[in-house]
Amino acid sequence: MQGLMQDVPLTLQMLLERADALYPSKTIATKREDGVHRQTYAQTVDRVARLAAALQAAGVKPGDRVATFGWNSSRHLELYLAVPCMGAVLHTLNIRLHPTQIAYIANHAEDQTVFVDASVAALWQQVRGLNTVRRVVVMDDLTPEGRPGMSAESAIPGADDYEAFLETGGTAFRWPKLDENQAAAMCYTSGTTGHPKGVVYAHRSSLLHSMGVLFADTLALSERDTALVIVPQFHANAWGMPYAAVLTGADLVLPSRFTDPASIASVVASEQVTMSAAVPTIWFGVLQAIRGGEIDPAALASLERIVVGGSAVPEALMRGYDELGIRILHAWGMTETSPLGTVARVKTTVPEEQALRIRLTQGLPTPTLRVRIVTEDGSVAPWDGKTMGELQISGPWIADAYYEPEAPDQRGGHDRFADDDGTRWLKTGDVAVIDHEGYVQLVDRTKDLVKSGGEWISTLELENLLAAHAGVVEAAVIAVPHPKWDERPLACVVSRDPDLTSGQLCAYLAEHLAKWQVPDDVVFIDEVPKTSVGKFDKKALRERYREYRLPDT
User: According to CB under 6 A, which one of 142, 164, 431, 442 is a site residue for ligand AMP?
Assistant: 442
Burial of 548 (C-beta count, 10 Å sphere; 0-12/13-18/19+): middle
312 binds ligand AMP (CB under 6 A): yes
The size of the interface with ligand AMP (CB under 6 A), counted in residues, is: 20
- Which of the stretches 48-56, 92-100, 263-271, 304-312 binds ligand AMP when contact is defined by CB under 6 A? 304-312
HEC states along 353-373? HHHHHHHCCCEEECCCCEEEE
Compute the Cα dihedral for 78, 84, 86, 91 and give only its sign: positive
Told to judge if 197 belongs to the known catalytic residues of this protein, a careful annotator would answer no
DSSP classification of residue 545:
T
Residue of the chain from 169, 249, 255, 310 that contacts ligand AMP (CB under 6 A): 310
Tell the smallest beta-carbon distance from residue 300 to ligand AMP (Å).
22
Q: Which of 30, 451, 455, 485 is catalytic?
A: 451
Which residue, 124 or 456, is less far from ligand AMP as judged by CB?
A: 456
Question: Quick one: which of 44, 48, 40 has its CA closest to 82?
Answer: 48
Of 189, 218, 248, 335, catalytic: 189
Least gap, CB of 428 to ligand AMP (angstroms): 5
Q: Give Cβ neighbours of residue 86 (< 8 Å, ≥ 6 apart).
A: 52, 55, 56, 60, 62, 173, 175, 176
What is the C-alpha to C-alpha distance for residues 357 and 51, in angstroms, rounded to an integer? Answer: 47
Q: Which residue in the set 226, 335, 361, 458 belongs to the binding site for ligand AMP (CB under 6 A)?
A: 335
Q: Considering only residues 27, 44, 311, 458, which one is a binding residue for ligand AMP as defined by CB under 6 A? A: 311
Q: Is 430 in the site for ligand AMP (CB under 6 A)?
A: yes
> Could you say which of 109, 118, 236, 399 contacts ligand AMP (CB under 6 A)?
236
Q: How far is CA 138 from CA 81, 85, 150, 488, in A?
A: 18, 21, 10, 34
In whole angstroms, the minimum distance from the beta carbon of 120 to ligand AMP comes to: 20
Closer CB to ligand AMP, 210 or 311, in the complex: 311
**Known active-site residue 189:** yes
Tell me if 189 contacts ligand AMP by CB under 6 A: yes
Integer distance in angstroms from the first to the last C-alpha of the chain?
A: 65
Task: Identify the CA nearest to 136 among candidates 161, 100, 103.
Answer: 161
Q: How far apart are CA 384 and CA 265, in angstroms?
A: 42
Nearer to ligand AMP among residue 41 and residue 403 (C-beta): 403
In the annotation, is 175 catalytic?
no
Applying CB under 6 A, which part among 103-111, 294-302, 309-317, 521-529 lies near ligand AMP? 309-317
Q: Is 428 in the site for ligand AMP (CB under 6 A)?
A: yes
Long-range contact pairs involving 6-11 (C-beta distance under 8 Å, separation at least 24): 9/177, 9/178, 9/179, 9/180, 9/203, 9/204, 10/180, 10/203, 10/204, 10/207, 10/208, 11/84, 11/85, 11/178, 11/180, 11/184, 11/203, 11/204, 11/207
Report the site for ligand AMP in 446-465 (rule: CB under 6 A): 451, 456
Taken in order 267, 268, 274, 279, the sign of the CA dihedral is positive
Q: Which residue is nearest to ligand AMP, using beta carbons?
A: 335
Question: Applying CB under 6 A, does 427 fall inside the site for ligand AMP?
Answer: no
Residue 357 sits in the site that holds ligand AMP (CB under 6 A)? no
Nearest to 223 by CA among 207, 242, 245: 245
Q: Which stretch, 35-43, 347-355, 422-430, 464-472, contacts ligand AMP (CB under 6 A)? A: 422-430
Q: Active site residue: 78, 271, 336, 461, which one? A: 336
Give the Cα separation of 307 and 553 in Å (integer).
27
Contacting residue, 135, 195, 414, 445, with ligand AMP by CB under 6 A: 445
Among residues 124, 332, 383, 456, which one is catalytic?
A: 456
By CB under 6 A, name the one of 334, 340, 509, 528 that touches ligand AMP.
334
Known active-site residue 451: yes
Q: Select the residue interacting with ligand AMP from 169, 309, 395, 453 (CB under 6 A).
A: 309
CA distance 413 to 446: 20
Residues 83, 64: Cα–Cα separation, whole Å: 9
Q: How far is the CB of 282 from ligand AMP (least distance, A)?
A: 14
Whole-number Å distance between alpha carbons of 471 and 466: 9
Contact residues: ligand AMP, CB under 6 A: 189, 236, 309-312, 330, 332-335, 339, 362, 428-430, 442, 445, 451, 456
Which residues are known to be catalytic? 189, 336, 451, 456
